[in-house]
Structure 1
């Protein structure tokens, strides 16, 4: 894997490459690939898969505003959002995000991952998440990274376990979604 970092005080720019993927912040030129792959999604495959969603408000201007919001959150060390792109054709495969929970002596973050369902079962999720963890530890300088996973989200649990994350606990009534407070499994991995 190859890590690349841009130096510019007004712009966050870190990327990592794997054999098949590039993981980096979204750029203005990504709009067509991004909107196309959202449009190519299949219907929802399970409860935690959004499937096809209404993208009608997502104009190029809306996309540029989204990128600027992502940039500001990264510069504020709050949230880092990365697009996952296939090297061979620049197809937007999904996204990975890190949210800083606490810095100082903890260096602690939560991360999430999603792959558009038309790209499932090809190993992209595992490849992207492995690379993103390296980026989280080496570039974002986190010591502990957690995944907060719904108890019945089997694909996400399997992915977390396949990359070496360890189950720690169940946090009861941890997140409000689907009109109720839901329990989450907490998986974690620490830097070496």
Structure 2
């Protein structure tokens, strides 16, 4: 079975970004992003309405990492330290060496290559450091930007599940994309 143990939270860097632990320092940024309908429109999670909800979310990210259940990073700009999004593996299937990648980005930073940069680094980390055999992405069928992003990174569309998730009184469809390590 897959295990992952780090003495310290792994910090990842790209040309323009620093990916680091989600901490209470980012509560305001998380609240700002997760309270925007355009950020959450394809993510089956409720909008945040109170800052304490963002605090609880940060505590949950920390708990899941401490318990080695999942790992997620704050995406920050190297030059300013500003948090612009999150990326990580919210669900890890240790028995099958499989991780599900998830991400969100503040709309002010869309279509500037930031998520492409962050995802490339996180996928590499997933295969090389977490030793995943495969990585999946569960994407709302209307989220073309997200499906285009994972396809750009070599993912293959494996399935379309009708009414897969129940959220806010509705059943939602989901597309499943998967990536195996390059050989």
Same fold (TM over 0.5): yes
Larger Rg: 1
Cα RMSD of the aligned pairs, angstroms, is 2.9
TM-score (norm 1): 0.77
Correspondence for 1:98 among 89, 99, 102: 89
Distance 1:36 1:150, change over 3 A: closer
Alpha-carbon distance between aligned partners in 2 of 1:68 and 1:187, rounded to the nearest angstrom: 29
Distance 1:148 1:18, change over 3 A: same
Is 1:123 equivalent to 2:116 in the alignment?
A: no
Q: Which residue of 1 aligns with 2:50?
A: 56
Distance 1:87 1:45, change over 3 A: closer
Distance 1:35 1:158, change over 3 A: closer
Alpha-carbon distance between aligned partners in 2 of 1:165 and 1:56, rounded to the nearest angstrom: 36
1:119-158 equivalences under 5 Å are 119-158=109-148
Which 5+ residue runs of structure 2 have no aligned equivalent?
none
Correspondence for 1:38 among 29, 33, 36: 33
Correspondence for 1:23 among 19, 22, 43: 19
Bigger fraction of residues in helix: 2
How far the C-alpha of 1:35 sits from its partner, in A, is 5.5
Contact 2:19 2:76 in 1 (8 A): yes
- How many residue pairs get aligned? The number is 176
Contact 1:107 1:141 in 2 (8 A): yes
- RCO greater where, 1 or 2, for CA within 8 Å and sep 6 or more? 2
Which 5+ residue runs of structure 1 have no aligned equivalent?
none
The list of structure 1 runs, each at least 4 consecutive aligned residues, that deviate by more than 6 angstroms after superposition, is none
